[in-house]
């Protein structure tokens, strides 16, 4: 498994080998010892699987506040998405900055986002499936979000605004500057 640190060092890009033959392929998509060797301790408690039928479906930007903050290991198993993590840790040198990575069934990349990051993605094709592991259970009372189109974040979603498809919930998130601080940067 290849692991790269991105522009925001706490976000990791993982690429697993696919061993194929005439029957198909096998891929090891997570190993706790490989994560630990990179200084990442993650115990996953829940797997999530999302299907989006249309190009332009945007889910995000979501996070959970403590005591149920979540780290996420995200991959796209069908189609392609632009996956985005925004640093929302007050005091972080990268506060308000983001990383955007294309994850697809073809490139087999995964993105690790630790607690303290808002997460979202947009589908770049029809019929996308996204699978992700999380480090804490879904807790509706801790569920939060920030506006996907916050101009201060400067995210290029690669889809024209009139092509974005949002849930009613995701249309109502505040800008980062208006959101209650939830995480403090600690090094």
Active site members: 62, 132
Q: Which residues contact 123 (CB under 8 A, 6 or more apart)?
A: 52, 54, 55, 56, 57, 58, 79, 80, 81
Residue 122, burial from CB neighbour count under 10 angstroms (0-12, 13-18, 19+): buried
CA distance 125 to 46: 26
CA distance 103 to 76: 6
What size, in residues, is the chain? 187
Q: Which residues contact 21 (CB under 8 A, 6 or more apart)?
A: none
| 139 Cα distance to chain centroid | 17
Residue whose C-alpha is closest to residue 173's, from 58, 43, 30, 5: 58
| 147 Cα distance to chain centroid | 15
DSSP 180: P
């Amino acid at each position: 498994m290849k692991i790269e640190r991105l522009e925001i060092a706490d976000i990791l890009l993982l690429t697993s080998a696919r061993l194929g033959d005439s029957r198909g392929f096998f891929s090891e998509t997570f190993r706790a010892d490989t994560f630990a060797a990179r200084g990442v301790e993650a115990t996953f408690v829940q797997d999530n699987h999302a299907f989006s039928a249309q190009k332009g479906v945007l889910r995000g930007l979501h996070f959970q506040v403590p005591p149920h903050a979540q780290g996420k290991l995200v991959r796209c198993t069908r189609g392609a998405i632009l996956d985005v993590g925004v640093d929302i840790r007050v005091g972080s040198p990268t506060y308000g900055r983001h990383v955007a990575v294309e994850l697809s069934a073809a490139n087999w990349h995964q993105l690790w986002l630790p607690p303290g990051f808002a997460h979202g993605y947009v589908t770049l094709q029809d019929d996308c499936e996204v699978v992700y592991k999380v480090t804490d259970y879904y807790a509706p009372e801790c569920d939060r979000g920030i506006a996907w189109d916050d101009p201060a974040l400067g995210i290029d979603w690669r889809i024209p605004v009139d092509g974005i498809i949002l849930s009613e919930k995701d249309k109502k998130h505040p800008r980062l500057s208006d959101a209650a601080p939830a995480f403090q940067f600690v090094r």
